[in-house]
Structure 1
Amino acid sequence: MKKQIFNHAKQCGEAECCGLVIDNNVYMPCRNIAYDPINNFEISVDDWIEASEKGQITAVVHSHPNGMPILSQADQFYQQKTAVDWWLVCDNHIYQFRYIKPLIGREFEHGHADCLTMVLDAYMLLGVNLPNYEREDNWWDNGKDYYIDSLPKNDFHQVKLSEIKEGDVILFSLNSQVANHAAVYIGNNEILHHLPKRLSKRDLFSGYWLKHYHSIWRHGKWPLSNFTAILNNMAINTK
């Protein structure tokens, strides 16, 4: 299937290719009917119907021949409409972006939509697929130190507060002896995070949060240029 996708992208040249994955194992090439196929793509309703008649549409595929390996603001907007994975062909690679809910305004659900989920999903938008893991509630009171145990294993290293950059993960100790809360630094002295019984939101990294921060961590393959993907997500969900 991947060979079919690469061949289709090559055939489309400078224009964006587009297609649909059916049942996770069949690729159906589609015609790009966008007014400006060099910079955008649009799949016809007829192609959507044809694909849905063959099976379940599990992913939307398109290419960025001269673009970045992240979903654009428009891409993310329409991914949220389709509610399926989106695959992106760029730089002779297929980047698979699982469907995620908007980063801002999420209802809290421990283990499914919490502060760790926020970090995992933000990094997914950047093209970094971090592993999830089962976690019981109040694990920090039961002798566990999940964040400090897992971050170094997943290519994160600790940095100083004075060296903080967009995309770094900030850990906090909230009424705990260990780090039990995480946020993503989004620049301009702001963080993106999710607390229990609250909607996910951005906050100033000052006052209470600065007082209770534990440590700051950076991914070894952190592509700073891809940070736009997080800003794109926040932009389309705060209008």
Structure 2
Amino acid sequence: MNEETKKAIADHALAAYPRECCGLVVLHNGAERYVPCRNVAGAPEEHFVMSAEDYALAEDMGPIVAVVHSHPGAPARPSMADKAMAEKSGVDKWVIISVGIQGDGAVAAEDWCEFGPTGYVAPLVGREWAHGTLDCYGIVRDWYRLERGIDLPDFERAEKWWEDGQSNLYMDNFAAAGFVDVGQDAELQPGDVLLMQIRSKVPNHAGIYLGDNIMLHHMYGRLSGRTVWGGMWAHALRTVLRYKGNAA
């Protein structure tokens, strides 16, 4: 990136502090240009969700050559979520700028990092939470890809879709993903998706049954992990989804 582009990014990151800024570098009329975008995340101090409208407008200006965001008060080092999003993006370059409070109380840009897709897959156990990428459906997709060699479709999902009173992500899409509903009383098999309803009007959490009474799942705002199936989880169960190749 040239110095003019870096200055435009730094100015945006400083103006957005303590929120994460996000934007795109495009080639417009053959020249590099930074296009600031809106961060529409529910908690913009913690992560970014780039406005789809802003992304489309930037695409109309020219080819996208880099995705940019800031890390307020944190190192310019890609998180698990950053690396996972880079894999999904189709953009070869990602740029992080760190921004922090200096000794004199001023806010300033501190460091830069560039990275790109490398085939990264977050570990199934201990992965950070990031809605739309590293969430409960994300771990279902990654488990099926790593353990069964099956690529499940991804689905666009707004943050906290389970609270809007209209969305029903799992029930609306399980058939398109290749699953059948075998009911909550089914005898569990490894690979079954345990569909639960937790403080919601619709089923909003899913785990993978691993066998031996163990479930792998990724709860909102927590690290992913294995847990014993039963208790509160079984009480929240609404149905069991079985991949069509496993269904009797």
TM-score (normalizing by structure 2): 0.49
Do structure 1's residue 112 and structure 2's residue 112 form an aligned pair? no
Shift, 1:99, TM fit: 4.0
Within the candidate set 163, 178, 182, 2:206 is matched to 182
Q: Distance in 1 between matches of 2:207 and 2:213?
A: 12
Within the candidate set 138, 145, 148, 2:171 is matched to 148
Amino acid at match of 2:226: R
Runs of 4+ aligned residues of structure 1 deviating over 4 Å after TM superposition are none
Cα-to-partner distance string for 1:134-155 (whole Å, 9 max, x where unaligned):
2111111211011001001222
SS class of match (1:152): coil
Q: Choose between structure 1 and 2 for higher RCO, CA contacts under 8 A separated by at least 6 residues.
A: 1
Q: Distance in 1 between matches of 2:211 and 2:169?
A: 26
Amino acid at match of 2:152: L
Q: Distance in 1 between matches of 2:236 and 2:211?
A: 19
Partner of 1:220: 244
Aligned length: 127
Within the candidate set 154, 158, 167, 1:132 is matched to 154
TM-score (normalizing by structure 1): 0.51
Q: Distance in 2 between matches of 1:134 and 1:150?
A: 11
More helix by share: 1
Do structure 1's residue 159 and structure 2's residue 185 form an aligned pair? no
Amino acid at match of 1:115: C
Q: Distance in 1 between matches of 2:150 and 2:208?
A: 14
SS class of match (1:218): strand
- Structure 2 residue runs of 5 or longer lacking an equivalent are 1-86, 88-118
Q: Distance in 2 between matches of 1:141 and 1:129?
A: 28
* Contact in 1 for aligned 2:186/2:240 (Cα 8 Å): no
Tell which structure's C-alpha radius of gyration is larger: 2
Identical positions, percent: 38
Within the candidate set 176, 188, 194, 2:218 is matched to 194
Partner of 1:65: none
